[in-house]
A and B are shown apart, each in its own frame.
Chain A
Amino acid sequence: MDGRVSAPPAVQTSRAPGAAFILKKALISAFVALVLFSLMIGVRTEAGPQGQLVYWTRFDDLAIMVAAVFGGSILVELLRQWWGPVDTIRVVPPSVQTALAVARRGIAPVLLVFTFLVPVLFYDERYILDLAILVLTYVMLGWGLNVVVGLAGLLDLGYVAFYAVGAYSYALLATNFGLSFWVCLPLAGILAAFWGVLLGFPVLRLRGDYLAIVTLAFGEIIRLVIINWQTLTGGPNGVTGIPRPTLFGIPLTPADDGLAALLGIEFSPTHRIVFLFYIILALALLTNWVTIRLRRLPLGRAWEALREDEVACRALGINTTTTKLTAFATGALFGGLAGAFFATRQGFISPESFTFHESALVLAIVVLGGMGSQLGVALAALAMIGGFELFRGLDQYRMLVFGMAMVLLMIWRPRGLIGHRAPTVFLKHSQAISSDLVKEGHG
């Protein structure tokens, strides 16, 4: 590997650096921070009363920031020394290894059972239930995108487009034609899959980053059309009054024909939340089940082969056109289903919910989850959305923290939090190089 050739000199000399080295490094960092922050933090501009820009200085904030960078730099350097060189192989005792292996095998069933019990355990805690529904929505989106990115290796930066198509399909069908959620759900999925194929066609010949930018552009086109086609979508005002789902035609309302009245129990708004929770759980598990089944079919094998090496794939007679299109369509289908659920849960949708930020978030979940690992994606969704919620109080600093977390997580675990992608089938022996060492299959 050419990795070691151009390693920064700091790593090599930091084996036994003295205090002078650390101090020098921290001073340089502090100086860089001083220049970077001098104008952006040291000076604050704002439009004054007459519309004229005024500015005032904030040298105290600047000093605090530079001091923080100085201290942080020393701390990071000390931590790095304490941890030792990065490439040291750390020997884990066998007992710990077996315990970890057991834990790894047990975590998925335990998590599943726990998820089923969440509405029981937290029945009175509306906030936790809402959060759990949100996490499950992202788990489903993550699993859906995982088909495209993790399995087929096609880099999709516009996944939110299918989420939006699903949400608007349901919202418009339900508000204009009065169709019920259960009729619209498959329709929304099919429509989204149709758009997936539509996107798939032009990008068939593209690879890697060209693919990334076209999917990104596609996501933006869908969003811009939704914003501007006011007669159909209501534009920036969105669609309101989207009907709630019913249980076999029985609404979950306090009315006389509602579920509570029929069962003879007292009505509570929590019923609907619990119902929504189980709907999204079922949808997510459906996604998971379909993905796992598809991976065992020739189609799933073809996706993985495509991810590993497109040229070899074609040489072996796999039809890359249908393989790519089915990957896009399957991913889009699940995105559309999740979108329809999102619309019925919110009761209101607007283009603001379908920005590039969502695509990036779902992609981050898939990559952090280890690209192809179903459990990894679920855990990554829990970590990302849960972490995002933890910082809700920080208000405008929240996105700042989120961005930093994304950078740090990528540096710390570039191949995801747990596990990494590995083909489902591979030669058990005489493999000259592992798939890890090969460059990505060029999208």
Chain B
Amino acid sequence: MDYFAQQLINGLVLGSIYGLIAIGYTMVYGIVGMINFAHGDIFMIGGFIALITFLILVSFGLTAIPLILLVVLLVSMAITALYGWTVERIAYRPLRHSFRLAPMLSAIGMSFVLTNYSQVAQGARVKPVPPIITGGYTLHEGAEGFVVQLSNIQIIVVITTIVLLALFTWLVSNTRLGRDMRACEQDQTMASLLGVDVDRTISMTFVIGAALAAVAGMMYLLYYGLVDFFMGFVAGIKAFTAAVLGGIGSLPGAMLGGLLIGLIETLWSAYFSVEYKDVAAFSILIVVLIFLPTGLLGRPEVEKV
């Protein structure tokens, strides 16, 4: 039981990270209707920028951990958001009214560009960082000496995710930008006729998605203590799987899917085999889609003939 509880905590933390990335996929899909294949790499860039900012701050003699974390978070969110904006501007906007496969291939190309850009710029080797946040709480001490632990970093990841999610839900439901985004999602032409700046709204969607991915990248860096240029691919596929599992286009669905994928992966590694954890995650995706072809919370697509 203790072992299960510990795995549950680990799974929820991993799921939060996936959920943050999945939101970027689901938002872009909702508005533009394309798979942003480069999103996983945006997450990786976010991790790199967090790492570099952290190194610079530490070498300047800054020691207050909360201050460092805040600055790292803001810098990586800002710069990564600009990456998201640039990617949309260069690779997707010219293809917005093209046929469906074109932006997707352009996105795959962009993903190759970003992966190899960071390989060329920062080298191929894994970049380890020493644990920045240490300590934690012991929740329960089992009879056989097994302890259920909740580390501070896990608390930070979960709290950050909840805060961001609340902020983001508020943004989508209560602000002008959120209203514009929902309008564009329903009908871009009509929205533009009613005075919504469609280009700007779509750009902002990419910017917000990239900023959330940057947070996920930083959390990944803090939690696992390493980044490398290839981590965007696997994390990206998992997060996209999460978005599809939850029902693509649905924001709560993305978070739910992320948590589920995180839990499946962790529990499978704990009870069966570590090697096949990704196979388990993908198989469950396929099984779910057989019975619920639009995901868990997705709306069925209306067919117009």
Contact = CB atoms under 8 A, between A and B. Distances in A.
B282 A220 contact: yes
A214 B278 CA distance: 13
Nearest to A42: B52
B100 A440 contact: yes
Nearest to B49: A39
A213 B285 contact: yes
B121 A2 contact: no
A410 B114 CA distance: 17
Given A32-B82, A155-B101, A45 B127 contact: yes
15 contacts: A5-B198, A6-B188, A39-B49, A45-B122, A53-B129, A202-B289, A213-B240, A312-B305, A360-B108, A360-B112, A363-B105, A364-B105, A404-B113, A407-B90, A410-B103
A221 B94 contact: no
A264 interface: no
Contacts of A213: 35, 240-241, 244, 285
Contacts of A47: 125-128
B121 A405 contact: no
Interface of A: 1-3, 5-6, 8, 32, 35-36, 38-41, 43-47, 51-53, 55, 149, 155, 202-203, 205-210, 212-214, 216-218, 220-221, 224-225, 227-228, 309, 311-312, 356-357, 360, 363-364, 367, 371, 396-397, 399-400, 402-407, 410-411, 414-415, 439-440, 442
Contact of B56 (A43, A51, A228, A400): A43
B108 A396 contact: no
Given A6-B198, A403-B111, A53 B56 contact: no
A364 B108 contact: yes
A69 B143 CA distance: 64
B94 A399 contact: no
B35 A212 contact: yes
B169 interface: no
A364 B108 CA distance: 9
A40 B55 contact: no
A350 to B, nearest CB: 16
A6 B290 CA distance: 38
A433 B156 CA distance: 56
A45 B290 contact: no
B102 A367 contact: yes
Given A228-B276, A440-B100, A53 B127 contact: yes
Nearest to B29: A209
A299 B303 CA distance: 24
B68 to A, nearest CB: 15
Interface in B251-299: 273, 275-276, 278-279, 282-283, 285-287, 289-290, 293-295
A41 B121 contact: yes
A403 B119 contact: no
The 6 closest A-B pairs by CB, nearest first: A406-B109, A403-B112, A403-B113, A414-B102, A217-B282, A2-B189
Contacts of B136: none
A294 to B, nearest CB: 22
A399 B117 CA distance: 9
A309 B102 CA distance: 19
Nearest to B278: A224
A214 B289 contact: yes
B152 interface: no
Contacts of B96: 6
Contacts of B188: 2, 6
Contact of A36 (B79, B129, B289): B79
B45 interface: yes
B1 to A, nearest CB: 29
A299 B141 CA distance: 65
Nearest to A219: B282
Contact of B95 (A205, A360, A414): A414
Interface string B36-69: 0000000001001101110110010000000000
